[in-house]
Amino acid sequence: MAMHRTEHDLLGTIDVPATTLHGAATQRAVAVLPIAGRPVHRALVHAFGAVKLACARTNHELGYLSSPRFEWIVAACEEMMAGTLDDHIIVDALQGGAGTSTNMNVNEVLANRALQLGGRPLGDYATIDPHDDINRHQSTNDTFPTALRVAAIWACVRSNATSSPWLKRCRRRSVSSQTW
């Protein structure tokens, strides 16, 4: 078995470990942006799974994401939400920009996990592409703050909103509206 697979992006080609779920953008980010040496907080990763799941469902309903690719992506997003893909989000918690490295790491992991679930080889982006399928109709400027808010709401709900008046109001509003 090969030790690496070659991936292509706008910057050219790069080798990534053959069995990893991340791709070219993540490989570059890890090499260039090792700022803090700390991983992205797992609550944010799980929330990203929820955001990407909502986007996949919307794109499916609009006819941009067909079956069975849609089902594979849904399953991958659910795994991310459950924490089973945590070890594959490897970019540094402190990175340049507005979270682009995190968003692309998430996109690549979800694409490659969906490919695995569909019995396809890692990096088969003609079948499921991290940008054109997982990130369709999205921007890091939208997904990152949305995932951050989802993670905060989930933390608020888990905390039982007992530590401050603001959290109590947050809990009452989220429970009464059932929007979370």
pLDDT of residue 180: 44
pLDDT band at 127 (very low <50, low <70, confident <90, very high): very high
Distance from chain centroid for Cα 41: 12
| Rounded (10°) angle between helices 165-177 and 140-158 | 100
Q: How many Å apart are CA 158 and CA 170, to the nearest integer?
A: 12
- pLDDT tens per residue across span 58-101: 999 999 999 999 999 999 999 999 999 999 999 988 776 668 88
Q: What is the pLDDT of residue 164?
A: 67
The pLDDT > 70 percentage for the chain reads 87
Return the domain boundaries, the chain: 4-144
Residue 12 in this model has a pLDDT that exceeds 70: yes
Query: What CATH number does domain 4-144 carry, 2.30.40.10, 1.10.10.10, 2.40.110.20, 1.10.275.10?
Result: 1.10.275.10
What is d(CA 4, CA 52) in angstroms, rounded to the nearest whole number?
A: 27
Q: 42, 145 in Cβ contact below 8 A?
A: no
For a pLDDT cut of 90, what percent of the chain falls above it? 67
CB-count burial class (<10 Å; 0-12, 13-18, 19+) for 163 = exposed
Task: Cite the beta strand spans of 10-133 per DSSP E.
Answer: 12-17
Q: What is the mean pLDDT of residues 136-165?
A: 84
Q: Among the residues of the chain, which ranges form H helices?
A: 24-32, 42-61, 69-82, 100-117, 140-158, 165-177
CA dist 27 and 48 (Å) reads: 19
Q: pTM here?
A: 0.87
Residue 22 has pLDDT above 50, yes or no: yes
Average pLDDT over residues 28-40: 80
